[in-house]
């Protein structure tokens, strides 16, 4: 019996969709299978170009060799695929990588703009560690078909005079500089935007204001010293602020819809006042039902926060709706005061997770140095679950054991206490 090729009997649009799960080079190579497959790759709805696939030996080649391979192989290949594209794109993605930080050739920037001409729904460009000169953002920020955009660019870009993205819902952006002008234009020209991520950027903006935004992420961004970031987003459901640098504090009186938050309590190095202002950040989260905190400050900063907590509690934040709390701690900076603070001000708390990380410079704080748990634990009637994640270090075990004893002694009823051992290092 002759073998039957059932795959080739499928409609062309289904075959093109199947090819989208292959690398672009593998998809193009299917043209040699048969006449049926000769032009199927020209109708793929997804095109993803990754320079690493053209440059595997990243350490051996010199910069000149990299450029040569770029000009000879990568850019012509991208152009060739785009020139043969017969269908409208659903997704265009280009990942550009250099072994060191060098200027990006103009030809690479040109093929990016060639991709936007196909009016994709999803558009992603990542210039990993590469510098691009005078890149014009206007064609991207005026492509009405876009719904999901990721831009990771380094260099001097030409800011758009206006933004017109009526269908955009998700924007993830990393630029050399993000100021109020760009942020205002984005919210003005993106009436459907729901999610925004700002990462690895110099933030020169003082406000993020939107009535439609549901998710906001600020990750690994540098902000000028003593700058405040005012967030006014009444529809926001999820807020994440991680590894901020230079941010004096966050102010917001309009996070009425917030349910989920993930915050780094990290402040400017050497600041004497910032630790007190961290409580202002917590004040913004009073409506959250799920909260994750990462404590990664110096010991002095944690001491100041604890002192603030012990002071006048008339302005202390409360969390009347909080049900799930996760706290990540470096063992060097662990203390009972902050933990007791959350237990006291979260009457509906059901599940508490404590993660004890090893400090990369070795743990110096002995379990015997820890202050005794405060009687505030007595105010807890019930917790459904307490999970303690620790490392294999002896000091980590001692802290975990003391926590277990404290919860058993001071919480009337606990559904279960779970202790897990995981290897993890908190890099400060």
For the chain, domain boundaries: 283-293+314-428
pLDDT value at position 360? 44
pTM > 0.75: yes or no: yes
pLDDT value at position 185? 93
For the chain, the distance separating the N- and C-terminal CA atoms, rounded to the nearest angstrom, is 66
Task: State how far the Cα of 269 lies from the Cα of 164, in Å rounded to an integer.
Answer: 40
pLDDT in tens, 314-340: 567 789 999 999 988 776 555 677 778
pLDDT value at position 173? 93
- 3-state secondary structure labels for all residues of the chain: CCCCCCCCCCCHHHHHHHHCCCCHHHHHHHHHCCCCCCCHHHHCCEEEEEHHHCCCCCCCCCHHHHHHHHHHHHHHHHHHHHHCCCCCCCEEEEEEECCCCCECCHHHHHHHHHHHCCCCCEEEEEEEEEEEEEEECHHHHCCCCCCEEEEEEEEEEECCCCCCCCCCCEEEEECCEEEHHHHHHHHHHCCCCCEEEEECCEEECCEEECCCCCEEEEECCEEEEEEEEEEECCCCCEEEEECCEEEEEEEEEECCCCCEEEEEECCCCCCCCHHHHHHHHHHCCCCCCEEEEEECCCHHHHHHHHHHHHCCCCCCCCCCCCCEEEEEEEHHHCCHHHHHHHHHCCCCCCEEEEEEEEECCCCCCCHHHCCCCCHHHHHCCEEEEEEEEECCCHHHHHHHHHHHHHHHHHCCEEEEEEEEECCCEECC
* Pairwise pLDDT comparison (96 vs 209), residue with the higher score: 209
Task: State how far the Cα of 124 lies from the Cα of 90, in Å rounded to an integer.
Answer: 12
Rounded alpha-carbon distances, angstroms, from residue 140 to 45, 123, 202, 303:
19, 9, 21, 47
pLDDT in tens, 381-412: 788 999 999 888 888 888 888 888 888 887 88
* Best CA proximity match to 251, nearest among 231, 267, 223, 237: 231
pLDDT value at position 11? 81
* Pairwise pLDDT comparison (134 vs 88), residue with the higher score: 88
pLDDT in tens, 37-47: 877 888 888 89
Select, from the ranges 70-84, 105-119, 142-156, the one with the highest average predicted confidence (pLDDT).
Answer: 142-156
Name the burial class of residue 101, with classes exposed (0-12), middle (13-18) and buried (19+) by CB atoms within 10 angstroms of its CB. Answer: exposed
Residue whose structure tokens are 């709706």: 321
Residue whose structure tokens are 């080739």: 8
> From the centroid of its chain, how far is CA 281?
19
Task: State how far the Cα of 116 lies from the Cα of 89, in Å rounded to an integer.
Answer: 9
355 Cβ contact list (under 8 Å, min separation 6): 326, 327, 328, 329, 389, 424
* Mean pLDDT score of the chain: 78
Stretch 52-70: mean pLDDT: 62
User: In the numeric block, which tokens belong to residue 69?
Assistant: 């391979």
pLDDT value at position 329? 78
324: left (phi over 0), alpha (psi -120 to 50) or beta: beta
Give yes or no for residue 372 having a pLDDT over 70. Answer: no
Give yes or no for residue 104 having a pLDDT over 70. Answer: no
Contact in structure between 73 and 54 (CB atoms under 8 Å): yes
Stretch 222-226: mean pLDDT: 70
Stretch 1-5: mean pLDDT: 56
267 Cβ contact list (under 8 Å, min separation 6): 247, 274, 275, 277, 278, 297, 301
Stretch 178-199: mean pLDDT: 93
pLDDT value at position 202? 84
Percentage above 70 pLDDT, the chain = 71
Stretch 232-238: mean pLDDT: 92
Stretch 12-30: mean pLDDT: 81
- The two most distant CA atoms of the chain are separated, in Å, by 87
Residue whose structure tokens are 């690895």: 200
* Pairwise pLDDT comparison (385 vs 295), residue with the higher score: 385
Query: Which range among 1-10, 58-67, 410-419 shows the weakest confidence by mean pLDDT?
Result: 58-67
pLDDT in tens, 259-271: 999 988 655 444 4
User: In the numeric block, which tokens belong to residue 211?
Assistant: 């009535």
Contact in structure between 259 and 239 (CB atoms under 8 Å): no
Stretch 185-211: mean pLDDT: 91
pLDDT value at position 428? 38
pLDDT in tens, 63-101: 666 666 666 778 888 898 898 888 888 999 998 866 554
58-72 CB burial, b ≥16 within 10 A, e <16: eeeeeeeebbebbee
Query: Which range among 50-54, 71-75, 126-130 shows the weakest confidence by mean pLDDT?
Result: 126-130
Stretch 148-167: mean pLDDT: 87
pLDDT value at position 247? 56
């Amino acid at each position: 019996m002759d073998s039957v090729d059932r795959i080739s009997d499928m409609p062309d649009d289904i075959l093109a969709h199947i090819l989208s799960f292959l690398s672009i080079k593998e998809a193009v190579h299917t043209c040699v299978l048969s006449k049926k497959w000769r032009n199927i790759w020209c109708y793929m709805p997804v095109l993803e170009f990754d320079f690493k696939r053209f440059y595997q030996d990243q350490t051996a080649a010199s910069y000149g060799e990299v450029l040569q391979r770029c000009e000879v192989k990568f850019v012509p290949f991208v152009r060739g695929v785009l020139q043969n594209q017969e269908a409208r794109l659903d997704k265009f993605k280009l990942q550009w990588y250099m072994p060191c930080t060098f200027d990006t050739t103009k030809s690479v920037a040109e093929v990016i703009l060639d991709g936007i001409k196909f009016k994709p729904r999803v558009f992603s460009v990542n210039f990993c560690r590469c510098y691009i000169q005078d890149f014009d953002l206007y064609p991207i920020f005026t492509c009405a078909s876009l719904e999901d955009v990721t831009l990771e660019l380094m260099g001097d870009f030409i800011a758009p005079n206006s933004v017109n993205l009526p269908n955009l819902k998700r924007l993830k952006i990393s630029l050399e500089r993000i100021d109020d002008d760009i942020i205002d234009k984005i919210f003005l020209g993106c009436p459907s935007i729901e999610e925004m991520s700002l990462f690895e950027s110099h933030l020169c903006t003082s406000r993020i204001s939107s009535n439609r935004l549901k998710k906001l992420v600020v990750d690994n961004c540098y902000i000028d010293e003593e700058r405040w970031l005012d967030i006014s987003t009444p529809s926001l459901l999820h807020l994440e602020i991680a590894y901020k640098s230079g941010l004096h504090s966050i102010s917001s009186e309009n996070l009425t819809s917030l349910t989920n938050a993930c915050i780094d309590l990290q402040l400017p190095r050497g600041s004497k006042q910032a630790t007190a202002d961290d409580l202002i950040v917590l004040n913004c989260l009073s409506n959250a039902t799920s909260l994750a905190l990462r404590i990664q400050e110096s010991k002095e900063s944690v001491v100041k926060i604890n002192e603030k907590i012990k002071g006048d509690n008339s302005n202390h934040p409360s969390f009347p709706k909080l049900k799930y709390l996760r706290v990540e701690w470096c063992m060097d900076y662990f203390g009972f005061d902050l933990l007791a603070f959350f237990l006291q001000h979260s009457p509906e708390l059901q599940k508490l997770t404590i993660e004890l990380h090893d400090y990369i410079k070795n743990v110096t704080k002995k379990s015997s140095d820890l202050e005794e748990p405060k009687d505030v634990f007595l105010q807890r009637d019930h917790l459904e679950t307490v999970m303690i994640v620790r490392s294999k270090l002896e000091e980590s075990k001692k802290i975990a054991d003391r926590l277990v004893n404290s919860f058993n002694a001071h919480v009337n009823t606990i559904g279960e206490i779970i202790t897990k051992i995981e290897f993890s290092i908190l890099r400060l």
